[in-house]
Structure 1
C-alpha cells in the first residue's frame, strides 16, 4: 500500500462556488473540459520547515487569492510536504496526476533525481514548474513542458561577499580582531552535493579574495539549511576556536541564525568587539530582523514574493496561453530567474518597503 503523504494544507479557490470546485475535483474532469475556468495546481515542497520555502508558498497562496479576482477564475491548490524523501515526492506526483492538476510545482528533494517525476509528467501530459532547488540542466531539457523558477546561486554568493568587502573597506580593524591582516572565517554549508550550497560557498570566497583580502578557513560544516543543526555546529566551532572566529559565512539565513543562537548561548554580545561578522542569504523575515538588531551584518534577498508570483503567472501562461508579464521573462524558453539584492542596516528600510508593496 502506498504510504500516505503528509499534507501541509489545501486551499480551495473562492472566486466560484465550492460546489463547482468540488464537482471538477470529484469527477476527474479533464483540463480541456475545464476550459480555463479552474486552474488546479499541485505543489510539493522538499521540507515544510524550510523558512524560505514556507514563505514562498505563503506568498503563492496570497497571490492566488488576488489573481482569482483579476483573472475571473477559480484557483485550487494542493500543497504537500515530501518530508525530505524523493520517494514520497514521486508518489505525490502520482496523486497530483490522479487528481487532475493542470500544472505541478515541484521543490525537488534531490535535484539530481528528477527522472521519475519527469517521466510521470510526460506520460500524463502535465507540465511541471520546478522551483527553488534547480535540477540538472539536461533533465530540464528532456521535455518542452518543464520549467524552472528561482535565482542565480552564483550571484547570491557574490553579493554576500560584497557585503563583507564593503564592511572591510569601512572598518577592517573591527573585523580583523587579532590584527594579522587575514580574515579568519568558518563556513556553514547547506546540503552535500546541492547546487546552491556548492556555488554559494565557492563564489563568496572568490568575491572576497578577488577584492584583495586574505582569508583563512578555520573550518566548515554541513548544516543542511537547518537552524538547529547550525547552532550545534557553531557551538563546536566556538569551543574549538573561540574569539579567533572573525567571520561566519552561512549559505542561508536559517544557518546564520543558528550561529547567532550559539553565540548568544555562549554569552557573546552583538555590540561587543568579540561578536563576529555573521552573514546569511535569503532575506527571510527572521533574517531581516537579525540584520535590524545588528546580530547579522547582512543577508542577500532571495525574492520569495517575486518567485511565487512568477510561478503563478507561468502556470497561468502554460494552461491558458496568456502572455507573461515583462518582469518574468522566460529565458531560453525554460527559466525565470529573479535577481538577488543586498540587505544591510543601511538599506533595510528600503527593502522592507519594497517587500510590503509586493
Structure 2
C-alpha cells in the first residue's frame, strides 16, 4: 500500500539531523536519495514541500531525505550512504558549489545519476559525466528583474530620493561570500539599476548569508550610521529583505523614513510583506515549477529515459540544464502570487 509523503514527514527527517534519515517505501522500482544544504532556508523548505507533493502522486517511488546542516563533509557522507543503501538516483542541493568532486566521483563510480538543484555547480564540473543534470533558474535574470523593479520605483516615485540630491543612496544585502548566485544577483541588479538611468551612491553592502537575523543585525548597524539617509535596499533574497524590515521596525522609524526594499524568491512571508506595503517588491523564484521539473527529470532519468524527452515541457539546455524563469512582483500583481500559495 502506498504511503503518502508529506512535508510533515520531511520536517521530522530534518529535525532528526544528519545522523538519521527517514525512508518512505512505495515500491521497488525507484529509490530516490535527496540531500539539502540547510533545512532552515525558507525558500528551500517551501521548495521541498512542493517536491513532496509531486512524489505523493507517484506510487513507484521510495525516497530518503537528508539535511546536510551547511556542511559539505556531512553531505559527502550522506551521498555515500545513499549510494550504499541502493538509491537509483540522487537529488543534491550542494552545500559548496565549488567542491562537488567527492559527490560526483562517488556517484560516477557507482553509476548513480545526480540531479543537482537550486544551488548550481560550476559548468566545468557538470560536464565531467553525462549523468549529471541541474534544475534551477538563471541567477542573472533574477538580478536583472530586481534592478528593473528598483529602477521603475526610483524613476516614478520622486519621494524615494529623500535628500533631493538626484542620486539614490543604497545598500546591498548579499548572500554567502563567493556564492555564484549572490555574486550574480548583486552585479546584475546594480548594473541594471544604473543602465535604466538611475544615478546611485553606494553607502555599503553586507554579507548576511541568506539569513533574516543576520540581515537585521547588519541593517541595524547601517541605520545607526546613516539613519534615514538610506533610500534603497536591494537584497539577494527575501529573508534578508525581511531582516532589513525587522531592523527598521525595531528602530522605531516611521514608514516615510524607510528605504524602498526589494528581495528575491517570493517566499510566503516575502509575498505577505509586499502585500502589507513593507517590502516594495520581490522577484518570484518559481519553486512550484522547479519542484515539478525536478520530479519529472529525476523519475525520467531513473526510469531509463533522457532529459531530451522533457523538451516539450521545459526548456532544456546543453542536454544538462532545465531552468525556469523568474517573475517580477509588486503590489499591483501580488494577489496572483498569493493565490499560488
TM-score by length of 1: 0.87
Tell whether the 8 Å contact from 1:90 to 1:117 is kept in structure 2 after alignment: yes
Q: Distance in 2 between matches of 1:168 and 1:209?
A: 11
Partner of residue 42 from structure 1, selected from 28, 33, 38: 33
Partner of residue 153 from structure 2, selected from 167, 186, 205: 167
3-state DSSP of counterpart to 2:185: helix
Partner of residue 12 from structure 1, selected from 19, 24, 29: 24
Q: Identify the residue that residue 202 of structure 1 maps to in structure 2.
A: 187
3-state DSSP of counterpart to 1:142: coil
Partner of residue 102 from structure 2, selected from 103, 116, 122: 116
User: Is 1:219 equivalent to 2:204 in the alignment?
Assistant: yes
In the TM superposition, what is the alpha-carbon distance from 1:352 to its structure 2 partner?
A: 2.8
User: Is 1:61 equivalent to 2:61 in the alignment?
Assistant: no
Tell whether the 8 Å contact from 1:232 to 1:262 is kept in structure 2 after alignment: yes
Tell whether the 8 Å contact from 2:213 to 2:243 is kept in structure 1 after alignment: yes
In the TM superposition, what is the alpha-carbon distance from 1:116 to its structure 2 partner?
A: 0.6
After superposition, give the CA deviation of every residue in 1:300-319 in whole Å (9 maximum; x if it has no partner): 00111111110110011102
User: Is 1:248 equivalent to 2:233 in the alignment?
Assistant: yes
Count of paired positions: 323
User: Is 1:191 equivalent to 2:180 in the alignment?
Assistant: no
Alignment of 1:41-190 (within 5 A): 41-66=32-57, 68=58, 73-171=59-157, 173-190=158-175
In the TM superposition, what is the alpha-carbon distance from 1:169 to its structure 2 partner?
A: 3.0
In the TM superposition, what is the alpha-carbon distance from 1:76 to its structure 2 partner?
A: 1.7
In the TM superposition, what is the alpha-carbon distance from 1:12 to its structure 2 partner?
A: 1.6
Tell whether the 8 Å contact from 1:189 to 1:251 is kept in structure 2 after alignment: yes
Tell whether the 8 Å contact from 1:185 to 1:248 is kept in structure 2 after alignment: yes
Q: Identify the residue that residue 311 of structure 1 maps to in structure 2.
A: 294
In the TM superposition, what is the alpha-carbon distance from 1:351 to its structure 2 partner?
A: 2.4
After superposition, give the CA deviation of every residue in 1:230-257 in whole Å (9 maximum; x if it has no partner): 0000110100111000011110000000
Give the gaps of 5 or more residues in structure 1: 22-33
Tell whether the 8 Å contact from 1:40 to 1:102 is kept in structure 2 after alignment: yes
After superposition, give the CA deviation of every residue in 1:145-178 in whole Å (9 maximum; x if it has no partner): 000111000000000011111112321x221011
Q: Identify the residue that residue 299 of structure 1 maps to in structure 2.
A: 282
After superposition, give the CA deviation of every residue in 1:89-131 in whole Å (9 maximum; x if it has no partner): 0000011101111111111111000011000000000000111
Q: Distance in 2 between matches of 1:10 and 1:203?
A: 40
Q: Distance in 1 between matches of 2:20 and 2:231?
A: 40
After superposition, give the CA deviation of every residue in 1:168-198 in whole Å (9 maximum; x if it has no partner): 2321x22101100100001110001000000
Q: Distance in 1 between matches of 2:184 and 2:222?
A: 23
3-state DSSP of counterpart to 2:264: coil
In the TM superposition, what is the alpha-carbon distance from 1:39 to its structure 2 partner?
A: 1.9
Q: Distance in 2 between matches of 1:187 and 1:165?
A: 15
Tell whether the 8 Å contact from 2:155 to 2:198 is kept in structure 1 after alignment: no
Bigger CA radius of gyration: 1
Q: Distance in 1 between matches of 2:20 and 2:207?
A: 27
Give the gaps of 5 or more residues in structure 2: 1-15
Q: Identify the residue that residue 283 of structure 1 maps to in structure 2.
A: 266
Q: Distance in 1 between matches of 2:17 and 2:206?
A: 31
TM-score by length of 2: 0.91
Q: Distance in 2 between matches of 1:138 and 1:300?
A: 28
Partner of residue 250 from structure 2, selected from 259, 265, 272: 265
Tell whether the 8 Å contact from 1:188 to 1:221 is kept in structure 2 after alignment: yes
User: Is 1:348 equivalent to 2:296 in the alignment?
Assistant: no
Tell whether the 8 Å contact from 2:32 to 2:64 is kept in structure 1 after alignment: yes
